[in-house]
Amino acid sequence: MASIEDYVLYQDVVADPPQATVEAAIEQAIRSQCDGVVGFGGGSSMDVAKLVAVAALGDQHLTDMYGVDMISGGRLPLIQIPTTAGTGSEATAVAIVTTGEHTKSGVVSYRLFADAILLDAELTVGLPPAVTAATGIDAMVHAIEAYTSKRLKNPISDMLALQALGLLSANIKAAVINGTDIVAREKMLLGAMLAGQAFANAPVGAVHALAYPLGGIYHIPHGLSNSLVLPHVLRFNAEYAATMYDELAAVVFGSVEPNAGAYQLADYFYALAQELGLPVALRAMNIEEGGLSELAEQSMLQERLLINNPRTVALDEALMIYQQAY
């Protein structure tokens, strides 16, 4: 049996990990001559694990990996073990790094896919209700945006998204209200992974693009950032993906009036956030109304996300969405 000295633990990962944090983890892995990486935790921990697995070989510097398909080297073996049912990072080829005071950069490459994923619902039992709620809505956003993505949407991503949304919508309240409900926790964890697989194939859009500046500037957790803008983006997109929103709404509600799905989903998520104790307005996050213009400007930098949205989002329209969310 291996001794404890055979393992090196890096536990300084924080939410929205700064580049310096990722680099410190990489340096520790290189110094310890690690021959494999296990990501254990939420999305930030698993994102760092992905980047360590690639950069620890020393073939390429982290800053040369930002962008799509920029990784040129190999990767150490990688196992992901999520402890939240939300990000789906365990199943995606994306890792997000905070690269400036208010900016984030993504590394997107098939080399970031894990060799194995372990889902253990017992690891999510201690998750606080607010975190369970926010991460659960985050996973539902992944399913919705994958299903309505303008690029790369396909029958497999559709199947995964619908299955994920069904599991998540049916179990999120139980998981939040009774955190020891292992059956609900298990279904949330599976739903989050399926949603991750969905948007690994059909990338997310404007909800994420508008959520990222909330995290970068105001350090609002990613799941909550998504929740705050989701209803307003759904209404903005409504007429441009009406049939798809109807199909998604039917999974949640059983039936829906034609062309009403986006609006029903918007009302549902607003009420769900309230019921689960999450803030539902940007003003509740100590954001000044005068700061909305900066948010809109920063959201325009998320071109890799905005190109996937069913409806084109211009600067003035992004500002309008933030104003509606305010």
Average pLDDT over residues 108-135: 96
Residues 96-118 have pLDDT tens digits of: 998 887 778 889 999 999 999 99
Residue type, 220: I
59 vs 117, more confident: 117
Are the CB atoms for 134 and 221 separated by under 8 Å? yes
At 76, is the pLDDT very low, low, confident or very high (cuts 50, 70, 90)? Answer: very high
Of 179, 140, 185, 186, the closest CA to residue 163 belongs to 140
CATH 3.40.1710.10 for the 4-117 domain, yes or no: no
Residues 286-302 have pLDDT tens digits of: 999 999 999 999 999 99
Task: Report domain 129-325's class.
Answer: mainly alpha
Residues 6 or more apart in contact with residue 136 via CB below 8 angstroms = 85, 86, 168, 172, 175, 176, 188, 192, 223
- Spans of all domains in the chain: 4-117, 129-325
Of 181, 199, 141, the closest CA to residue 165 belongs to 141
Q: How far is CA 30 from CA 10, 36, 56, in A?
A: 12, 11, 5
Residues 143-191 have pLDDT tens digits of: 999 999 999 999 999 999 999 999 999 999 999 999 999 999 999 999 9
Of 144, 185, 184, 150, the closest CA to residue 164 belongs to 144
Are the CB atoms for 66 and 106 separated by under 8 Å? yes
Of all residues in the chain, what percent carry a pLDDT higher than 70? Answer: 98
pTM comes to 0.93
What pLDDT is attached to residue 79? 98
What pLDDT is attached to residue 1? 45
Q: Is the pLDDT of residue 2 over 70?
A: no
Would you say the C-alpha torsion 97, 100, 104, 107 has a positive or negative sign? negative
What pLDDT is attached to residue 73? 87
Residues 217-275 have pLDDT tens digits of: 998 999 999 999 999 999 999 999 999 999 999 999 999 999 999 999 999 999 999 99
Q: How far apart are CA 116 and CA 51, in angstroms?
A: 16
